[in-house]
Amino acid sequence: MPIVISMPALSPTMEYGHLIGWHKKEGDSVSVGDVLFDVETDKAVMQVESSESGVIAKILASDGTEKIAVNTPIAVLTERSDSPSDVTSFIEKILSSSSRLTKSEEPSETSCSQNASPNINSENRRAISPLANKIAKKSGIDALSEQITGSGPRGRIIKKDIDAFIEYSNKKQSGLSHTRAYIDSSVSSIRRVIADVLGESKRTVPHFYVSTDCDTSAMLDLRQKINDTLIGKKVSVNDMIAKACSLSLLDVPEMNSSWRESFIRRYEYVDLGVAVSMEGGVMTPVVRNSDKKSIVQISDEIRLLIQKTRDKKLPPEEFQNATFTITNLGMFGVSNFDSVIVPPQAGILSIGESAQKPVVRNGKIEIGNVMTVTIAADHRVADGAVAAKFLGVFRNFIENPLKMVL
């Protein structure tokens, strides 16, 4: 009997998926575990494997189709024993009951095949290859603009069409010295989730901010000694900050908590989120039980998580349910900044640059390395004294780093 392949829910917050491209075509045999297609979710690009065996009888959503609602049929899988008439009837029934595959407010930006859905006016759609679509988005180009002529099969827009349009636009722009130009770029799924989650956080969570300066000289010396003993890898300042933060959360558990409307949940473990910049946004992969791991173990794990994040191969279980988050812009020369709390966490620690500044040691002014850190705290969970206590403990670990390794 024919089987419907639907857009899966690959994360708890996923409502729509962008079908990047199929790994199979109509008529191909499929076995359990075969990769069927790539999907851009609200968090990452993920490969979807088949849970059934059979033959792809019909693909209902083509490469590049955007905003396909979860559970929407996108293909039909059959067994070779199914009769052609039964398969045809089954597909017709699916098409007649299927809702719109895309809910984009700007239909011209979506590419669908004529088989995508009877509710989509395919005559008004223009096809584009996944590679061409990717290049266009990266360049901020409306790939389905009438200005771009497709030279592929049936007028499909392919890579060379986008390249030609970019070259033409550059030449045209170079001859205009006083134009007031701008570029509109589409909002990625990741950027949309950031906007929704952090916008809601800023509206509903009563943020307050507390800052302190840390003398990082001793920490930098210890880091150098650790790295001198390691072969083939290095511990970063951020790795040591992650360890210091994890231990501080154990000493001040009020900050390792979350607001739950009718109660406050205090965690007896630390799952530390580490903000990582990537193309199109920021994600926070999680180091589980970071309080129980050494600096070197944390370093190895963060390095792997960063690579997965930037390759867009981070599974949901590795970026969800952190108990606290750190974010570091020091490597960009930022002295200090405030961050937005990721609900339901009670706080987020912002790390500035470790820079040379005058410091007082034993009554004398010397040149030291100073780093400004700022905690954003949820006033429903913690008060100013609690946030200040946390920063004091954190500063003590940074300025006396042997406490982190003994």
Q: Which residues are known to be catalytic?
A: 379
Q: Collapse the DSSP code of 120 into the 3-class scheme (helix H, G, I; strand E, B; otherwise coil) and give the result.
A: coil
Enumerate the H helices of 175-276 as residue ranges.
Answer: 189-204, 217-229, 237-251
- In one-letter notation, the amino acid at residue 48 is V
CA–CA separation, 245 and 348 (whole Å): 10
| Beta carbons of 34 and 85 less than 8 angstroms apart | no
Q: Cite the beta strand spans of 123-240 per DSSP E.
A: 207-215
**How many Cβ atoms from other residues are within 10 Å of residue 342's Cβ?**
21
| Beta carbons of 305 and 275 less than 8 angstroms apart | no
The set of residues, in sequence order, having a beta carbon less than 8 Å from that of 328 and lying 6+ positions away, is 237, 238, 241, 275, 350, 351
Return the structure tokens found at 156: 């499909």
Residue for token pair 């033409």 = 168
Question: Per DSSP, what are the bridge partners of residue 29?
Answer: 55
| Beta carbons of 393 and 255 less than 8 angstroms apart | no
Q: Which candidate, 151, 155, 135, places its Cα nearest to that of 143? A: 135
